[in-house]
Amino acid sequence: MSASALPIQSTHAAPTPQQVDEARTAFTASLLSTGTSTVQSDLQARAGDLHANAAAIDKQEQELLKETKNLGKESGKWQKLADDGARGVKETGDVQNWAEMLERDLCVLEDTMAMAEEGGATASALNGRQK
């Protein structure tokens, strides 16, 4: 037999079933420990992100409340300006209505005066004929 064809003989004895069980238990525990720490560190990182995001959301919420309050104040100012404008338009309409009524009354007065003058002229003409 050549040297490469010689069977390799182990100096170690075959493991006992108890040794196999112990090795299996140790290996499984090692895998669980490694897997658990990786999952646990991922979960801790995510929890940290959630807490950081919650703080950012709280800050944004406070800013939003502040800006909403400021917007309410601005809205009140614009509403007052709109109300003042509407009141001005109404007053202008009232003045225009008053002017139209005054013009109508003046036209009636003018027509009355013209009729009175015609009547006076007619009456004078009639009086002049009677004499």
pLDDT tens for residues 58-105? 999 999 999 999 999 999 999 999 999 888 888 888 888 889 999 999
* Cβ proximity of 23 and 15 under 8 Å: yes
- Cα 21 from Cα 27, distance rounded (Å): 10
> 85: which DSSP letter?
H
Q: Residues of 32-69 as b/e, b for ≥16 C-beta within 10 angstroms?
A: eeeeeeeeeeeeeeeeeeeeeeeeeeeeeeeeeeeeee
CA distances from residue 11 to 2, 4, 8, 14 in whole angstroms, order as listed: 21, 18, 10, 10
pLDDT tens for residues 16-31? 899 889 988 988 887 7
The pLDDT value recorded for residue 1 is: 47
User: Torsion angle of alpha carbons 16, 18, 24, 28, nearest 10°?
Assistant: -170
